[in-house]
Amino acid sequence: MPEFVLFAIVMLLILGAYWAMVVYPKQRTFQKRQQYVSNLRPGDEVITYGGIIGKIVDVEAENGIAYVEIAEGIVVRLVNAALVQAYNPEEIARNAQMGLEREKISAPNEGAR
């Protein structure tokens, strides 16, 4: 009987750790994305899952559809889940610079042969 109790406690600890490290963070990310999508308004600039930058023209929240203008006169219909984040040019440039700096640090010195 004590072996069973010990086994049950270990299994509960493993399940608790799995929930805390995998399930809970995914739930938080999903809730943040749902809140972001529910607050979209015409005129907001967004980045799609495919990396396309566009401007919200209309949102059909009840259908989960957004109309995004990706070029002058070109409007595409997207599922709200495909809208990843707001377009912030300064943040995109900062992330690109950080990526370039990391690349320089991790790349071997090819000129010293």
Q: Please list the rounded mean pLDDT of every run of 10 residues in the chain (113 residues).
A: 88 92 89 85 92 94 92 94 88 85 71 51
Q: What is the CA angle 37-80-18, rounded to 5?
A: 75
| Entry pTM | 0.63
Q: Is 7 left (phi over 0), alpha (psi -120 to 50) or beta?
A: alpha
Q: Nearest to residue 37, comparing CAs of 61, 53, 58?
A: 61
Tell me how far apart the alpha carbons of residues 113 and 106 are, in angstroms, rounded to a whole number: 17
The structural domains of the chain, with segments of one domain joined by +, span 1-39, 41-113
Fold of 41-113: SH3 type barrels. (2.30.30)
**Can you give the pLDDT at residue 15?**
93
The kind and range of the H/E element at 68 are strand 65-71
Start-to-end Cα distance in the chain = 68
C-beta neighbour count of 36 within 10 angstroms: 16
